[in-house]
């Protein structure tokens, strides 16, 4: 399959048509991944004026024991917060659940996976009601359900997901309205498809994923900058310094999505080499713009306009690059210093009670927030990063 599959229409006409189509259905700028659910919707996070002191018991030492201690501190705080709220199955919490599953594996602590399982049982393993304007978001939680299924093999855990995917396979592509019109979707749904193919033996889900990924990449990836625009409305938007707007978390979503797809893609899949090359291109660019504190700003190419680092994007970058090192796809001599600096940088934003700060709230572009800002998806990304940092350093320091 060729990566330039979008049909014969020119990219300019494609973008114009896409924007017009999107505008006819919803306001892209104000969408910001909202939910249509009528069920109780818990808060995904907050940014209090007084979050308390920064933690003094988190060690920057790159030993597996200290990495795990930082993961546990953050995971325990977040688990305590979510357990007193109604459960959620939306994309933001779905990302947290993926991180909690990683924390359970790394920390050998079933409390986190048990909580995720309780959410699935609460909703009878159903995904969020279908959102025609952003169906990819519905699949984030499914990745956690699939991980639970691997250990239990209870068919009911993935039956609703499989039905949702089967229905998607019947919908013909519309080049003017791609299914994944925003780059975040490359984290939300693709890995659910490759994981579903892996556990069912049905290659159609992976084939669907690869087809839709190609359409989105063709639209949003800048082959010169090696970064993704958030959606078509950002293709020609620029920062104060004149550089194109490339959102930290948006590109973090993509890199996280790449490695999660690679982790479940067959070794002989014809698209595997392409995803590896894309990971390498993005990792090289991201490493070149890392801040002196080890972190990245919300606007990747105009760091001076954003005084605070952005932890969710930084955590996804750390996760993806560390995964690449651990799987011998990225040169450890080049990239281990990058992730080591990033991990130490993130630790400086953990508060004494376990809150993880400097996470930009839900949005679609670089924005402002307080140092105390903490949101569940950023915590999920941090736990994923920690799980790979643990693997990276475990063999030397455990």
- Domains parsed from the chain with CATH numbers: 60-397 (1.50.10.10)
pLDDT interval class at 27 (50, 70, 90) = very low
Place of tokens 């707007």: 245
Overall average pLDDT of the 352-356 stretch: 98
Pairing of strands 45-46, 374-375: antiparallel
pLDDT exceeds 80 at position 208: yes
Q: What is the mean pLDDT of the chain?
A: 91
Comparing CA positions, the residue from 289, 299, 298, 291 lying closest to residue 361 is: 298
Q: How many Cα neighbours within 13 Å face the side chain of 112?
A: 27
Overall average pLDDT of the 195-224 stretch: 97
**184 catalytic per annotation:** yes
> In percent, how much of the chain has pLDDT > 70?
89
pLDDT exceeds 80 at position 349: yes
Higher pLDDT, 313 or 23: 313
* pTM for the structure as a whole: 0.91
- Residue 354 gets which letter from DSSP? S
pLDDT at 395 (0 to 100)? 60
pLDDT at 82 (0 to 100)? 98
pLDDT exceeds 60 at position 335: yes
pLDDT exceeds 90 at position 156: yes
pLDDT interval class at 131 (50, 70, 90) = confident
pLDDT at 26 (0 to 100)? 35
pLDDT interval class at 5 (50, 70, 90) = very low
pLDDT at 30 (0 to 100)? 35
Neighbours of 397 (CB within 10 A): 14
CA angle 356, 304, 366 (to 5 degrees): 55
Higher pLDDT, 176 or 277: 277
Is residue 229 within 8 Å of residue 220, measured between CB atoms? yes
Catalytic residue chosen out of the listed positions 92, 138, 184, 302: 184
Q: Give the residues across from 299 on adjacent strands.
A: 247
Measured between its terminal Cα atoms, the distance across the chain in Å is: 44
pLDDT at 376 (0 to 100)? 98
Overall average pLDDT of the 186-204 stretch: 98
SS3 187: helix
pLDDT exceeds 60 at position 8: no
């Amino acid at each position: 399959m060729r990566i330039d599959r979008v049909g014969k229409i020119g990219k300019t006409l494609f973008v114009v048509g896409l924007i017009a189509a999107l505008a006819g259905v919803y306001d892209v700028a104000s969408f910001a991944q909202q939910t249509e659910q009528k069920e109780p919707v818990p808060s995904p996070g907050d940014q209090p004026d007084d979050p308390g002191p920064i933690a003094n018991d988190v060690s920057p030492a790159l030993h597996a024991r200290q990495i795990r201690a930082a993961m546990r501190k953050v995971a325990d705080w977040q688990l305590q917060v979510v357990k007193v709220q109604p459960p959620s199955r939306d994309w933001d919490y779905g990302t947290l659940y993926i991180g909690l599953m990683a924390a359970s594996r790394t920390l050998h602590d079933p409390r986190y996976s048990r909580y995720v399982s309780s959410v699935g049982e609460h909703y009878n393993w159903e995904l969020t009601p279908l959102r025609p304007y952003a169906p990819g978001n519905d699949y984030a939680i499914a990745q956690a359900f699939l991980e639970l299924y691997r250990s239990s093999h209870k068919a009911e855990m993935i039956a609703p997901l499989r039905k949702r995917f089967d229905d998607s396979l019947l919908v013909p592509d519309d080049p003017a309205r791609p299914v994944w019109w925003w780059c975040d979707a490359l984290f939300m749904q693709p890995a659910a498809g490759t994981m579903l193919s892996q556990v069912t033996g049905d290659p159609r889900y992976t084939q669907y994923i690869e087809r839709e990924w190609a359409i989105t990449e063709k639209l949003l990836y800048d082959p010169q900058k090696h970064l993704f625009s958030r959606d078509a409305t950002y293709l020609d938007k620029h920062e104060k310094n004149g550089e194109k707007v490339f959102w930290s978390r948006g590109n973090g979503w993509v890199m996280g999505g790449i490695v999660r797809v690679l982790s479940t893609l067959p070794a002989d899949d014809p698209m595997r080499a392409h995803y590896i090359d894309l990971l390498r291109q993005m990792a090289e660019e991201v490493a070149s713009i890392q801040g002196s504190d080890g972190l990245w700003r919300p606007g990747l190419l105009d760091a001076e306009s954003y005084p605070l680092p952005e932890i969710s994007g930084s955590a996804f970058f750390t996760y993806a690059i560390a995964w690449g090192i651990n799987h011998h796809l990225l040169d450890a001599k080049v990239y281990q210093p990058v992730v080591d600096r990033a991990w130490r940088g993130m630790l400086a934003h953990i508060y004494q009670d376990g809150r993880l700060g400097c996470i930009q709230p839900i949005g679609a572009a670089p924005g402002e927030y307080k140092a105390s800002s903490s949101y569940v998806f950023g915590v999920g990304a941090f736990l994923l990063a920690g799980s790979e940092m643990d693997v990276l350093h475990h063999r030397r320091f455990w």
